[in-house]
Amino acid sequence: MSAGMLYTIGFVIALIIALIMTPLVKKFAFKIGAIDKPNHRKVHTRIMPRLGGLAIYIAFVAAFLLLLPFMPGDLLRPRDMNLIRALFTGGTLIIILGAFDDRLELSAKLKLVVQIAAACVVVFGFGIKIDLVNVPFGDAMQPIASWVSIPLTIIWIVGVTNAINLIDGLDGLAAGVSGIAILTILIMASLMGNEAIILLCVLLLGGIVGFMFFNFHPAKIFMGDSGSLFLGFSLATLSMLGFKQVTIVSFVTPLLVIGVPLSDTFFAIVRRKLNNRPIFEPDRGHLHHRLRDLGFSHRRTVLIIWGVAAIFGGFAIIQSAVVQSSAANWVTFGVICLILFGLQIGAEITGIVDKTRRPVINLFSRMLRIKVDAESRTHSK
């Protein structure tokens, strides 16, 4: 079986399994009491079943096992199988954590401990870690000492896992943003010829698309922490593994892949610090909350954030496509400047950090007024 045929069949199988499993998981969630009740922070007005991430996980794992006998030998090399086992083992631990949290609402400290344990499984159990980095305008890949690479990898996995969890506030939002990020990694892995990463991304994408039939507004089921934590963990691992074999890669690229959840998390930390509130205390200041407060409908808010995620993904693909060219450093510098400027303007427009402070927009407004006044004086003469 050709690789292209394998990927296509894998996507379809994962999608079909997700379509079948999601209604069953919905019934199971109601049966065990894994439900989400409305409150002042949430936009839904009725009791909703959680645990939807379990359907994505089952679709992902089942599709892989069904394809396993038909996989060509080059997909089953020891190195690639080690990567696959790391994702499956750590992902299983995370999905168990998320499922218990959907039912019992575990404490933040306990969830953090289990997330660190899952990251340690990847690092110490399978030897997967960030051991090379290329800083823009650097000459070559620079090795990182273990005492730096191990905590850096654990922080990356735990951070991304929680970043997806933080944006899971509207129907289809976290699933769509995760799907766009996985599609981005899929395209980049295709450019690099990393077949194992391509297969894993295809299967995850199939599971997400199948689940989205029940999760887009108006949702019939939420993915819950089981879904957001599992997708976050998968994204963290795949984004790290997908670039591990690249000869020259900027540290910017994996940040762009998950730019929306990471930037929303960053703004949440800044906002809570400015307001003297605990970093882990939930609030209504996330991007989706602010867009809703600005008058956008539920669906339009989700589509806007999907669009922003697609822009981040496009920049990541461009960055990946030129990493081996002579212009790579300048492209990286340009991408960073555009992203930082866009984030600042977006933060000021939406009020995601502060609803009253708009330094850059006010600066441009003053410059525009000065120009208009100067032109008016010129014409009056």
| Mean pLDDT of the chain, nearest integer | 82
Residue 139 has pLDDT above 60, yes or no: no
> Has 225 been labeled as part of a binding site?
yes
3-state class of 251 per DSSP? coil
What pLDDT score does 349 carry? 84
Distances (CA, A) of 17 to 33, 119, 214, 271, 316: 23, 28, 13, 41, 30
> Has 165 been labeled as part of a binding site?
yes
Residue 305 to residue 352: CA distance in whole angstroms: 13
Residue 273 has pLDDT above 60, yes or no: yes
- Residue from 273, 169, 160 nearest 224 by CA: 169
pLDDT range class, residue 346, cuts 50, 70, 90: confident
Residue 206 has pLDDT above 90, yes or no: yes
Average the pLDDT over each of 124-138, 245-259, 364-378 and give the range with the smallest value: 245-259
CA angle 169, 163, 204 (to 5 degrees): 85
- The whole-angstrom distance between residue 191's C-alpha and the CA centroid of its chain comes to 20
Residue 221 to residue 224: CA distance in whole angstroms: 9
pLDDT tens digits, 44-103: 567 889 899 999 999 999 999 999 888 877 667 777 788 888 999 999 999 999 999 999
Compute the half-sphere exposure of residue 295: CA atoms within 13 Å on the CB side of its CA: 1
- Choose from 38-52, 124-138, 329-343 the range with maximum mean pLDDT: 329-343
What pLDDT score does 249 carry? 45
- Choose from 31-40, 148-157, 223-232, 372-381 the range with maximum mean pLDDT: 223-232
Average the pLDDT over each of 9-23, 44-58, 108-122 and give the range with the smallest value: 44-58
Residue 118 to residue 159: CA distance in whole angstroms: 12
